[in-house]
A = this chain, B = another copy of it.
Amino acid sequence: MQYADAKQRFIQAWGTLGATWGINKAMAQIHALLLLSVEPLSAEEIMKELKMSRGNVNMNLRALIDWGIVRKENRVGERKEYFSTGKDVWELARQVSRERRRREIEPILQVLSEVQDVTGDNKKSVAEFKQVTQDLYDFSTKVDGMIEKFTKADQTWFYKLLMKL
């Protein structure tokens, strides 16, 4: 397969994958492009390559920076900004897990604990409610702890863990 085709195919697939996670397509595609690029790219270059508007590129670059997976770079004697992403897949996974933990698990734990002190006449329903939300809370807490460990550990730890399975 020719380089240009492979590149297109990868960027497309990465965009689709992103979309099935909460990450929008443009954001995932910009990330894919940066992953493949040997040199950092300017907004201009990204626009041209992905046929995206300036505003879209700018907004999604900012989101990627906010997620902590893309960096801005400045070159001496140049006004333009360049963007790059780390090529370390492990580090990427950690960063994404960390953000998703913060954005998703924390809010649901919050709700689950708020809702625990429920009262009502229908004993059976209330009991079932407490049971289910308590179970979910316990499980989520465990997963949360696991992700926390994961995001703080180093790659070696992870590989050793995989061995044990």
Contact = CB atoms under 8 A, between A and B. Distances in A.
Interface of A: 1-4, 6-7, 9-10, 13, 16-17, 20-22, 35-38, 87, 89-90, 93, 103-104, 107-108, 111-112, 114-115, 117-122, 124-126, 128-129, 131-133, 135-136, 138-139, 142-143, 145-146, 149, 159, 161-162, 164-165
A36 B146 contact: no
A2 B117 CA distance: 9
Contacts of A119: 1-3
Given A13-B111, A115-B9, A122-B3, A162 B145 contact: yes
Nearest to A127: B38
Contacts of A121: 3
Q: Which 5 A-B pairs have the closest CB atoms?
A: A3-B120, A6-B118, A13-B111, A89-B139, A6-B115
Nearest to A20: B22
Given A22-B20, A103-B20, A165-B146, A10 B133 contact: yes
Contact of A115 (B10, B22, B117, B135): B10
Contacts of A36: 125, 128-129, 132
A111 B9 contact: yes
A21 B159 CA distance: 27
Contact of A108 (B13, B108, B112): B13
Nearest to A93: B139
Contact of A149 (B6, B125, B165): B165
17 contacts: A2-B120, A3-B118, A3-B119, A3-B122, A3-B125, A3-B126, A7-B129, A10-B111, A10-B112, A36-B125, A37-B128, A38-B124, A87-B131, A89-B135, A89-B136, A142-B159, A145-B165
